[in-house]
Structure 1
Amino acid sequence: MRLSARVDYALRATAELASVAAAGAGRGRPVTADQIARTQEIPPKFLESILLQLRRGGIVQAQRGPEGGYWLARPAAEISLADVIRVIDGPLAHVRGQRPEQLGYHGAARALQDVWIALRASERQILELVTVADVASGELPEPITELVADPSAWI
């Protein structure tokens, strides 16, 4: 799986918003794009377009003006990493721009479709399990910590 810079930045920005909300600032004080960009070392102009996409996708809300900024549209524990990725990049797994179930493999390559579907299911299982709140708190679900504890996962 390869994550684009847009997805990486979107996940980091939503984790930052979740962290601010958990610290008590939540919806009472919107976080500016500049604050998020500085804290997460994201290019500000790039972040602005990502935040716009996240707003249109219902992940964040925004307020303009001197007291403006961004906050999560719903509790961080209800926003999975898969939710954020889908808003930024669309479906979790596609091959040549198509969903795996739409591919038509023949002959010796026929089983590849099953492999791509299994890969998507595996990605979905992990990315829907982990929430933005999990990332912000640094306390990942046990199945994730078990996977990470396996030394072969790091190779």
Structure 2
Amino acid sequence: MRLSARVDYALRAVVELAAATSGSGGEDRPVTSERLAHAQQIPPKFLESILLQLRRGGVVTAQRGPEGGYRLARPAEDISLAEVIRVIDGPLANVRGQRPENVDYKGPAEALQDVWIALRASEREILELVTIADVVSRELPERVRELAADPSAWV
């Protein structure tokens, strides 16, 4: 799996936003894009366009004015990593810009379609399992911890 800088920044911004609003003693004040950019070392102008995409995708909401900023549109437990990735990059897996079920291989390469579909299913299993709240709390699901604990996963 390859994550674009855009997806990486989006995930980091959403996690930072969740952490900033969850740890403030129940306060639900919006967080400015400047604060998010500084905390995660994301270029501010780039982050603004990402936050706009996340707002259009229903992941964050925006509040204008002197007390303005961003907040999660729903509880962090209800937002999966997969959702954020789809909002920013579209489908989790594609082949030459197409969904795996829409590619057409002939002859000996025909089985590649099944490989791409299985890869997408595996990716989806993990990315839909992990929520923003899991990342913020550093309490990842058992399946994710098992996979990450395997030394062969690190090479």
TM interval, short-chain normalised: over 0.9
User: Is 1:37 aligned to 2:37, yes or no?
Assistant: yes
Asked whether the equivalents of residues 27 and 71 of structure 1 are also in contact (C-alpha less than 8 Å), the reply is: no
Shift of 1:25: 6.1
Q: Secondary structure at the match of 1:111?
A: helix
Q: How far apart are residue 136 of structure 1 and its match?
A: 1.1
Indicate the RMSD between aligned Cα atoms, in angstroms. 1.0
Residue 92 of structure 2 corresponds to residue 92 of structure 1: yes
How many equivalent pairs are there?
A: 155
Q: Does 1:18 align with 2:45?
A: no
* Paired residue type of 1:34: E
Q: Does 1:72 align with 2:72?
A: yes
Corresponding residue number in structure 2 for 1:154: 154
Instruction: Give 1:64 deviation, angstroms.
Output: 0.9
Q: 1:2 to 1:26 in 2, by over 3 A?
A: farther
Asked whether 1:51 is paired with 2:51, we answer: yes
Give the drift of 1:26: 6.3
Q: How does the TM-score come out when normalised to structure 1?
A: 0.97
Q: Conserved in 2, the CA contact under 8 Å of 1:20 and 1:26?
A: no
* CA deviation map 1:83-141 (0-9, x unaligned): 00000000000000000000100100000000000000000000000001111111111
Opposite residue 5 of structure 2, the aligned amino acid is A
Unaligned runs of 5+ in 2: none
CA separation in 2, counterparts of 1:92 and 1:148?
A: 20
**Alignment check: 8 A CA contact 1:33 1:70 kept:** yes
Give SS of 2:71's match: strand
Aligned position for 1:114: 114
Distance 1:5 1:138, change over 3 A: same
| Runs of 4+ with >6 A deviation | none
SS at match of 1:110: helix
TM-score after normalising by structure 2: 0.97
Q: Percent identity?
A: 74
Distance in 1 between residues matched to 2:88 and 2:26, nearest whole Å = 23
